[in-house]
Amino acid sequence: MNFVNNVQHVLPELVSVLATNLKFSNGEIRKFDAIIFATEYKSGIHKWLKEYEYIFNEEGLPKNKFSNHWRGSNGLYCTGFSRRGLVGVSLDVVVIAQDIKLIMGGKKSRY
């Protein structure tokens, strides 16, 4: 789901990530400042995300241990992989938002 001007949009299947652009199954390409994967299921992300090894292992789970599992490189973030349910997702979202705010403000990430 994508929120633009407080309007909720349901987007088609994600086909690829091209730097800061996402390409969808309908051929549409959209630019995003940050990508946050919010999942709580058996991950297949390692099958389609190019250069996944910077953040995920061969099983599609984050390489880093909790509580630094949410941050990859080049603006790639993930949430929902801590196996702590909605509480884990909410913790991830807070630190991701803080990290994005620092970077967007021209400061270096603390993580």
Rounded Cα distance, 17 and 88, in Å: 25
Tell which wins on pLDDT, 90 or 85: 90
What pLDDT score was predicted for residue 7?
Answer: 52
Model pTM score = 0.52
Tokens representing residue 90 in the block: 């909410």
Query: Is the separation of the CB atoms in 29 and 22 below 8 Å?
Result: yes
Tell which wins on pLDDT, 71 or 93: 93
Give the residue extent of every domain in the chain.
1-32, 34-111
Is the pLDDT at 5 greater than 70? The verdict is: no
Of residues 41, 40, 51, 42, the one with CA closest to residue 16: 51
Looking at every residue in the chain, the average pLDDT score rounds to 76
